[in-house]
Structure 1
Amino acid sequence: MVHEDLFARLNEAGYKNWLKAGYCLLKVKDGLCGFADSEMRYFHNTVINNNFVLQRGQRCRSSCRPRGNQFESACPVCNEWKREILRHHTKPSGVINWGNCRPWLWPTEHWELAKAFMPRGLSDLSKADQCDAAALLNLFHFCDHFSFINPTLITEVIRCRNELMHSCEMQVSNEWMTRFQKSLEHLLLTLRHVPEVAAAGQQIQEMLSVDLSLHIPGVDSVDGAKMEGVFIESISQCETELLRETLRDLLNNSELEGNIIPLEKLQNIYRFLSGHKDLEEQFRTELQRLQVLEAQLQGANADNAER
Structure 2
Amino acid sequence: MALLATRMNCGEYMNWLKAGQCLLLLQDRLKGYIGGKMLDFHWELSDRITAPRPKKRCQCRAARKQFQPSCPVCAQWKELILAHHNYKNGDIHWGNSNPSLWPTHYWEVAKVYMPRGQAQVRGPEKCDVAALLNLMNTCDYFSGSNLSRVRELIKCRNELMHSADMKVSSSWLKHFEQKLYDLVSEFKHVPGLLSGGEEMQKVLLSELSIGVIEVDGIPKFELQSLITPVDLQGRVTSQSCTITRISPEEVEILLIQQLIQELCLEIEEQGSLTEENEDKVGKIKNFLSQNEDLGFVLQGDLKRLDNLRKNHVPPNAEGWIPPQGFAAFLVVLSLAFSLAYLFGQTH
> d(CA) in 1 for partners of 2:2 and 2:225?
16
Answering whether residue 248 of structure 2 is matched by residue 251 of structure 1, we say no
Q: Structure 1 runs of 4+ off > 6 angstroms?
A: none
2:279 to 264, 267, 272: 264
1:42 equivalent to 2:59? Answer no
Residue 270 of structure 1 aligns to which amino acid in structure 2?
Answer: K
Tell me: CA distance 1:58–1:265, structure 2 relative to 1, closer, same or farther (3 Å).
same
**Can you give the 5+ residue segments of structure 2 that lack an aligned partner in the other structure?**
213-220, 227-241, 315-347
Asked if the contact 1:211/1:226 (under 8 Å) is kept, the reply is: yes
Report what 1:231 is aligned to.
245
How many angstroms apart in 1 are the aligned matches of 2:196 and 2:70? 44
- What does residue 203 of structure 1 align with? 199
Report the CA distance shift for 1:256/1:210 in structure 2 as closer, same or farther (over 3 A). same
Alignment of 1:38-187 (within 5 A): 38-49=36-47, 51-53=48-50, 61-187=57-183
Supply the AA of the counterpart residue of 2:294. L
User: Which is greater in Rg?
Assistant: 2
Between 1:197-206 and 1:164-173, the stretch displaced more is 197-206
> Shift of residue 294 of structure 1?
3.9
C-alpha deviation, 1:224, in angstroms: 6.1
Deviation at 1:197, TM superposition (A): 1.4
Contact 1:267/1:294, CA 8 A, preserved across alignment: no
1-structure distance, mates of 2:208, 2:55: 53
Aligned ranges for residues 206-225 of structure 1 at < 5 Å?
206-214=202-210, 225=224
The equivalent position to 1:21 in structure 2, one of 19, 22, 46, is: 19
Q: Percent identity?
A: 37
1:271 and 1:237 map into 2 onto residues whose CA distance is 20
Question: Residue by residue, what CA displacement relative to the aligned partner does 1:35-78 show, whole Å, maximum 9, x if unpaired?
Answer: 000001111111222x1516x66676322111232111111001
Q: For residue 170 of structure 1, give the secondary structure of its aligned residue in structure 2.
A: coil
1:188 pairs with 171, 179, 184, which one? 184
CA shift for structure 1 position 154:
0.9
Structure with more of its chain in strand, by fraction? 2
In structure 2, what residue type is equivalent to 1:156?
Answer: E
**2:244 is aligned with what amino acid?**
V
> CA 1:119–1:230 in 2, change beyond 3 Å: closer, same or farther?
same
**Judging changes above 3 Å, is the alpha-carbon distance between structure 1 residues 89 and 48 closer, same or farther for their aligned structure 2 residues?**
same
Partner of 1:6: 4
Distance 1:175 1:136 in 2: 26
Tell me the distance in 2 between the aligned counterparts of 1:157 and 1:41.
Answer: 24
Change (3 A) 1:183 1:226: closer
CA 1:53–1:59 in structure 2 vs 1: closer, same or farther (change >3 Å)?
farther
Amino acid at match of 1:30: D
Match of 2:254 in 1: 241
Q: Is the CA contact 1:117–1:138 (under 8 Å) kept in the aligned structure 2?
A: yes
Distance 2:62 2:29 in 1: 31
> In structure 2, what is the equivalent of residue 32 of structure 1?
30
SS of structure 1 residue aligned to 2:208: coil
Q: Which runs of 5+ in 1 are unaligned?
A: 217-221, 301-307
Are the counterparts in 2 of residues 270 and 290 from structure 1 also a CA contact under 8 Å? no
From the superposition, tell whether residues 23 and 59 of structure 1 become closer, same or farther in structure 2 (CA, over 3 Å): farther
Tell me the residue number matched to 2:301: 286
Q: Is the 8 A contact 1:214 1:226 kept in 2?
A: no
- 1 CA distance for matches of 2:268 and 2:149? 30
AA aligned to 1:34 is G
* 1:68/1:294 CA distance change after superposition, 3 Å: closer
Q: 1:100-143 CA distances to partner (integer Å, 9 max, x unpaired)?
A: 10111111111111000001111111110100110000000110
Q: Distance between the aligned counterparts of 1:287 and 1:184, measured in 2?
A: 31
Contact kept, 8 Å, 2:150 with 2:183, in 1: the verdict is yes
Distance, in Å, in 1 between the alignment partners of 2:75 and 2:55 is 12
Q: Looking at secondary structure, tell me which structure has more helix per residue.
A: 1
Give the SS at the match of 1:168: coil
- State the distance in 2 between where 1:61 and 1:277 align: 49
Name the CA distance, whole Å, in 2 between partners of 1:105 and 1:10: 46
Alignment partners' CA distance in 1, 2:224 and 2:50: 63
Q: Secondary structure at the match of 1:125?
A: coil
